[in-house]
């Protein structure tokens, strides 16, 4: 146990140290308007949990790290299919709920794109003859078709650390449900610097900023962490949660395109990290948590027998 704790401390130090350095540097670049550099640095920090595992466990093979790297295509193809499209369904339902509760914010004319392109639009409000709604639809198709696959190769860095190594270790120490909650909170706090400095996910200037943003991020990452852990345990393949993670990153910002104007903050939505738009995720997480808890109890009874 002492050796496990030592390795876990090393893992946490590397994961947070590397990520926070990259996030701070990226956030500073964002404040200077260097958005391309910001996006690259934030993408790189997604690999810090994987690097933390490599250093702490001296390798990432299953016998060293415990991470299940196999795809298991034959038994998991349905799960991969669900993983590809589930985030889009949850995001759509969340946006539907958000706009149903706040209908004055919805705009089929894609006002946020109008704000984004500004002077680039012609007299008819189109971009080189292409209506803004068409642009939004094209982005939506891209986000649902090939973006999940591309984003998976960035998300694998986080999933290998959070779901492949950290959550199983915490589960051994404190049990299933507490581990899922603690791991979700850790994952949320890990985003701290970009939320504080650059307004990541929630924007700026809202009441309680930036700490309310960190709190809501912890709620979101706990809900998503439960879903991701369920699929990891079900499939015994780290690539399934990585695909879900990549897919949610691809579709998360699509609902913003259908707002009348670019919002100052996203505390309630329409992105799935918002409190209202995230409700479908939290409902699913609660259902899966209850299912995992029941399975865990059944396993304990069998072991005792």
- Is there a domain that residue 253 lies in? yes
pLDDT band at 263 (very low <50, low <70, confident <90, very high): confident
The yes-or-no verdict on residue 73 having pLDDT over 70 is: yes
What integer is the mean pLDDT of 194-205? 92
Domain span holding position 276: 69-304
- Is there a domain that residue 33 lies in? no
- Is there a domain that residue 261 lies in? yes
Residue 82's pLDDT is 97
pLDDT band at 282 (very low <50, low <70, confident <90, very high): very high
pLDDT band at 40 (very low <50, low <70, confident <90, very high): very high
Of 154, 152, 150, the C-alpha closest to 45 is 154
CA gap 262, 2 in Å, rounded: 51
- Is there a domain that residue 29 lies in? no
Tens digits of residue pLDDT in 154-165: 999 999 999 999
Tell me which residue has tokens 């701290």.
Answer: 192
CA gap 18, 50 in Å, rounded: 11
Residue 123's pLDDT is 66
CA gap 195, 24 in Å, rounded: 10
Residue 3's pLDDT is 78
Mean pLDDT of the chain: 92
The yes-or-no verdict on residue 264 having pLDDT over 60 is: yes
Q: Is the pTM of this model over 0.85?
A: yes
Q: Is 134 left (phi over 0), alpha (psi -120 to 50) or beta?
A: alpha
CA gap 21, 35 in Å, rounded: 17
- Is there a domain that residue 3 lies in? no
The yes-or-no verdict on residue 295 having pLDDT over 60 is: yes
- Is there a domain that residue 13 lies in? no
- Is there a domain that residue 1 lies in? no
- Is there a domain that residue 22 lies in? no
Domain count along the chain: 1
């Amino acid at each position: 146990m002492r050796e496990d704790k030592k390795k876990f401390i090393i893992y946490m130090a590397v994961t947070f140290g590397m990520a926070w350095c990259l996030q701070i540097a990226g956030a500073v670049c964002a404040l200077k308007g260097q958005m391309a550099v910001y996006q690259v640095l934030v993408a790189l920090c997604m690999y810090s949990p994987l690097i933390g595992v490599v250093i702490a466990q001296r390798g990432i093979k299953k016998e060293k790290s415990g991470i299940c790297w196999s795809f298991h295509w034959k038994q998991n193809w349905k799960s991969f299919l669900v993983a590809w499209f589930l985030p889009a369904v949850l995001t759509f339902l969340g946006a539907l709920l958000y706009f149903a509760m706040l209908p004055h914010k919805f705009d089929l004319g894609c006002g946020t794109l109008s704000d984004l392109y500004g002077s680039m639009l012609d007299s008819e409000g189109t971009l080189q003859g292409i209506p803004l709604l068409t642009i939004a639809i094209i982005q939506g198709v891209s986000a649902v078709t090939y973006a999940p696959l591309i984003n998976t190769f960035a998300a694998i860095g986080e999933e290998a650390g959070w779901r492949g190594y950290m959550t199983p270790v915490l589960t051994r120490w404190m049990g299933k449900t507490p581990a899922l909650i603690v791991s979700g909170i850790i994952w949320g706090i890990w985003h701290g610097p970009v939320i504080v400095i650059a307004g990541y996910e929630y924007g700026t200037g809202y009441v309680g900023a930036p700490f309310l943003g960190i709190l809501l991020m912890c709620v979101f990452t706990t809900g998503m962490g439960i879903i991701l852990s369920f699929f990891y345990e079900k499939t015994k393949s780290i690539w399934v949660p990585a695909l879900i993670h990549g897919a949610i990153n691809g579709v998360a910002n699509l609902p913003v395109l259908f707002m009348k104007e670019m919002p100052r903050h996203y505390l309630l939505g329409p992105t799935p990290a918002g409190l209202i738009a995230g409700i479908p995720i939290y409902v699913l997480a609660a259902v899966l948590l209850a299912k995992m808890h029941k399975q865990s109890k059944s396993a304990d009874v069998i072991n005792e027998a």
